[in-house]
Amino acid sequence: MKQLLLAICVTAISVLSVQAQGNKNAPRFEFSDGVSHDFGTVPEGPEVTHYFEFKNVGKEPLIIQSVTASCGCTSPDWPKQPILPGKTSKIKVVYSTDHRVGTFNKDIFIKSNAANPDDKEVFELHIKGNVTAKPTDSDKKS
């Protein structure tokens, strides 16, 4: 019985996914500055923030169910209300540089009802940069 229920759930999810991909009216993301952001070189300590601004270029409301990051050092925030066709909104991404000296390359995963051109289950954003160490007391004496 459990296997049957599992099979039905998997089939339903697959059908819904295929329908969203084939639906010409499905909501779609269009990011104004692309899906990647390079913070460049930033000092250790403060958080750095980037807003990924997007427009729903589909013909149906865009609903974002969740946005997660590849690690705990990155915190996303997203609109909880549907984004109507033709309207814009933002996904806020905050990266904590404290105790994270060196290069970073992180992914942010958006689960929504939007059609994804890569046929993936989630839409991906990317951030990267380089964190430089804050001066030590011995550096300050020089």
Lowest-confidence segment of 14-23, 49-58, 64-73 by average pLDDT: 14-23
Residue type, 36: S
pLDDT value for 140:
56
Structure-model confidence comparison of residues 112 and 135, the more confident one: 112
Q: What is the pLDDT of residues 84-130, one digit of tens each?
A: 999 999 999 999 999 999 999 999 999 999 998 777 789 999 999 99
Query: Taking the model in full, what pTM does it have?
Result: 0.79
pLDDT value for 6:
46
Q: Tell me the longest C-alpha to C-alpha distance in the chain.
A: 73
Q: What is the 3-state secondary structure (H, E, C) of 26-72?
A: CCCEEECCCCEEEEEEEECCCEEEEEEEEEECCCCCECEEEEEECCC
pLDDT value for 2:
53
* CB-based contact 104:47 (threshold 8 Å): no
DSSP output for 78-118: ---SPBPTT-EEEEEEEEE-TT--EEEEEEEEEEESS--TT
Classify 125 as helix, strand or coil.
strand
Cα angle, residue 109 at apex, residues 105 and 110 outer, rounded to 5°: 145
